[in-house]
Structure 1
Amino acid sequence: MKTNPGRFFEDYRLGQVIEHAVPRTVSGGERALYHALYPARHALCSSDQFAQSCGLSASPIDDLAAFHVVFGKTVPDISLNAVANLGYAEGRFLTPVFPGDTLRSTSEVIGLKENSNGKTGVVYVRSRGINQRDEVVMEYVRWVMVRKRDLSAAAPETVVPDLKPALTVDDLHIPEGLDFTNYDFTLAGEPHRWGDYAISETIDHVDGVTIEEAEHMMATRLWQNTAKVHFDLTFRPEGRLIYGGHVISLARALSFNGLANAQMIAGINAGAHANPCFAGDTVKAWSEVLDKAQTDAPGVGAIRLRLVATKGGAPFALKGEDGRYLPHVLLDLDYWALIPM
């Protein structure tokens, strides 16, 4: 058989390293399409002149656009037969991605756990994006619920990796040359700097975006994400599941209103796609400041944020008394961003 049905749960082995196919050279086209799909407006990823005034050689591709390219490479080998992508941890953005860079991806299986129903299992992988100079541009852990092909296949030994609950500021990589001492707050769009945010402060980002089927299909094709749940209308009875990264990018773009100066994502501490999202849902977002830290880079501070995407419901409501996410919550993402001091 020459076609590839994708891996099922019993096809994974602890320690297995998978080199993903189809490297991709990114261009300004990725930036233009990313900004067309999402209301992305952070100045550092929009203007070469602004980026150069902050010590970079040019404006990098949006961090999440680079993430989607790397993620998309992994889908045919990791989540083609997934029921759902469950979470993220230990995500680090190590080198900015610029137009002209070529990215490829690798993944290592670091954990396996069959579910009690015997029909699915959870696969934990550490994935890395690598550029044409063999530099790791990002790495992250994610875990995915994957179907079994053979329900009688023996369950593997359960191994659940011990992951950091959160990265420290020492785990973060500050891009070489980044300098916010001459930061132009007028061009960035808001006056708020590191010292203006308080731990436990919450921010309602006010705006909303209704997800369109056509935009989601364009996005998943752009990122070469071939997961069946995003393409095949017959694969999930209630409809095509919106790619979780699409929701992350919408929420991050919406967070500009209140966090315009959180210019770069430096790390992902944790993330959960709390409830499924479908076309027609209107995504809104709010943030909570979880922590703050200074860095060694001139004028650059780090701010740890909880970014929550919802489809209605009151802002700042996250979980019920039973500890479960409320039905209107789509995304709970804990991340570090770089912001001027």
Structure 2
Amino acid sequence: MRVWPYIFSESGSPLEDAMNPAEPHRVPVDGPYFEDLHVGQRFEGAPAVTLTEGLATAHQAIVGCRLPLVLDHGLSRRVIGDPESLGGPGGLAAPNLVWDVAIGQSTLATHTVVANLFYRGVVFRRAPLLGDTLSTVTEVVGLRQNSRRPGRAPTGLAELQIGTVDQHGRPVLDFRRCAMLPLRDAEVDTGHADDLSGAGASPPSHEELRTMISRWDLPAYRAQRPGPHFADLTAGTVFDVAGGDVVSSAPELARLTLNVAKVHHDASASGAERLVYGGHTIGIALHQAVRALPDIVTVAGWHGCDHLGPVREGDTLTSTIEVERLEPLAEGGLAHLRSRVRASRPGHAATDVLDWRYIAVLA
């Protein structure tokens, strides 16, 4: 059967090429490839996702979550207010669940992705509650075809702007990521040559980071939890977390968060073993950071996150967490943290796989 390419609509929905298919009742489901993309193209067809207790529990079982404000709904009510008054029926949703769903919804644009290189400028505009429903729009904002290399399939880089809102249209999360996609036609020259050397949104501002928590009662959190809290931290401190976490249930997490990238589901798409979804590694990194700082209230944003190497199911991940900078607020403050994650497996040397710089809220 001849596999006819897709034409993509402005919304990102694939349309069958009508050019006399040899088997008109067989429709290939694939793409987009790099040459299918253009700047300004929007993908908004991913299903909306309601954050339920079941979804949160399954997610926690795979990547972990020890954030007290997420686990203790009574504490959550004391700190952020009664859920019904905030427009939602449940407790606070874990921040890593929220960003995993948003990233998963954005993979409508990156089904054929070879690798995700980085994330930049992640900002939480509000903190979703269980019961809220998230929708995501992904827009192509930059494209660059990579130089051809002998023995390597041709690829290009796509810079994507991702915006997530709740059921009321209120902004929840926005960020950029850069994905490497293959070309369907090895000979095509797309002419895409955007300068992506400075790709990514500007770092989150102080005002952006404090907006989400401006009405939270951080003294109430501090009164209920033993610490250490913001005043107990020192810039430059590095925490070496003893003991690693094994990466398991990788395709299950991808399915759970609507991540349709082939490399996370089909080993033949990655040339060897399946690649683990980047959000899986980041979620475990947060889980390990909360072991070092057990009274992180939440994560307000990221400066950025670089994937330094592939992670495979069965790898064991270990972290070091550095306190890079401390930014006081009227109550508590923002801790600018850096997690460096290494992966190891029997018979292989440990390798660096993640460099994640993020901003945690402490009381």
TM-score, normalised via structure 1 length: 0.88
CA distance 1:206–1:56, shift in 2 (3 Å):
farther
CA distance in 2, matches of 1:15, 1:327: 40
Aligned partner of 2:352 in structure 1 is 329
Q: For 1:198-220, what per-residue CA distance to the aligned partner results, in whole angstroms no more than 9, with x for missing partners? A: 222111122311123xx112111
CA distance in 1, matches of 2:158, 2:355: 20
- Deviation, structure 1 residue 157: 3.7
For the 8 Å contact 1:87–1:142, the answer to whether it is kept is yes
State the secondary structure of the residue aligned to 2:251. Answer: helix
- Deviation, structure 1 residue 111: 1.1
CA distance in 2, matches of 1:312, 1:37: 18
Which stretches of structure 1, 4 residues or longer, exceed 6 Å deviation after superposition? none
For the 8 Å contact 2:67–2:297, the answer to whether it is kept is yes
Aligned partner of 1:63 in structure 2 is 95
CA distance in 2, matches of 1:102, 1:63: 14
CA distance in 2, matches of 1:40, 1:55: 19
State the secondary structure of the residue aligned to 2:221. Answer: coil
State the secondary structure of the residue aligned to 1:305. Answer: strand
Q: Could you tell me which runs of 5 or more consecutive residues in structure 2 were left unpaired when the two chains were aligned.
A: 1-15, 17-26, 84-90
Matching of residue 255 in structure 1 with residue 289 in structure 2: yes
State the secondary structure of the residue aligned to 2:311. Answer: coil
1:147 to 182, 186, 201: 182
State the secondary structure of the residue aligned to 1:69. Answer: helix
- What are the equivalent positions in structure 2 for 1:197-276 lying under 5 Å apart? 197-212=233-248, 215-276=249-310
Aligned partner of 2:324 in structure 1 is 290
Aligned partner of 1:93 in structure 2 is 124
- What are the equivalent positions in structure 2 for 1:14-33 lying under 5 Å apart? 14-33=39-58
For the 8 Å contact 2:116–2:178, the answer to whether it is kept is yes
Q: Give the number of equivalent residue pairs.
A: 321
- Deviation, structure 1 residue 25: 1.5
For the 8 Å contact 2:344–2:350, the answer to whether it is kept is no
Aligned partner of 1:43 in structure 2 is 68
Q: For 1:215-267, what per-residue CA distance to the aligned partner results, in whole angstroms no more than 9, with x for missing partners? A: 11211111111111111122223200111110100111111112112221111
- Deviation, structure 1 residue 305: 0.5
Matching of residue 170 in structure 1 with residue 207 in structure 2: yes
- Deviation, structure 1 residue 286: 1.2
Task: State the AA in 2 paired with 1:125.
Answer: L
Q: Could you tell me which runs of 5 or more consecutive residues in structure 1 were left unpaired when the two chains were aligned.
A: 314-325
1:116 to 137, 143, 147: 147
Aligned partner of 1:196 in structure 2 is 232
- Deviation, structure 1 residue 176: 5.0
- Deviation, structure 1 residue 164: 5.1
CA distance 1:103–1:3, shift in 2 (3 Å):
farther
- Deviation, structure 1 residue 184: 4.4
CA distance in 2, matches of 1:165, 1:126: 12
- Deviation, structure 1 residue 3: 4.5
Aligned partner of 1:318 in structure 2 is none
Q: For 1:70-101, what per-residue CA distance to the aligned partner results, in whole angstroms no more than 9, with x for missing partners? A: 1111112x221111000010110111111221
Matching of residue 102 in structure 1 with residue 133 in structure 2: yes
CA distance in 1, matches of 2:61, 2:201: 35
State the secondary structure of the residue aligned to 1:54. Answer: helix
Task: State the AA in 1 paired with 2:237.
Answer: E
CA distance 1:176–1:132, shift in 2 (3 Å):
farther
CA distance in 1, matches of 2:332, 2:37: 42
RMSD between superposed Cα atoms in Å: 2.0
Indicate the larger mover: 18-27 or 91-100. Answer: 18-27
For the 8 Å contact 2:231–2:332, the answer to whether it is kept is no
TM-score, normalised via structure 2 length: 0.83
CA distance in 2, matches of 1:156, 1:339: 47
CA distance in 2, matches of 1:17, 1:257: 39
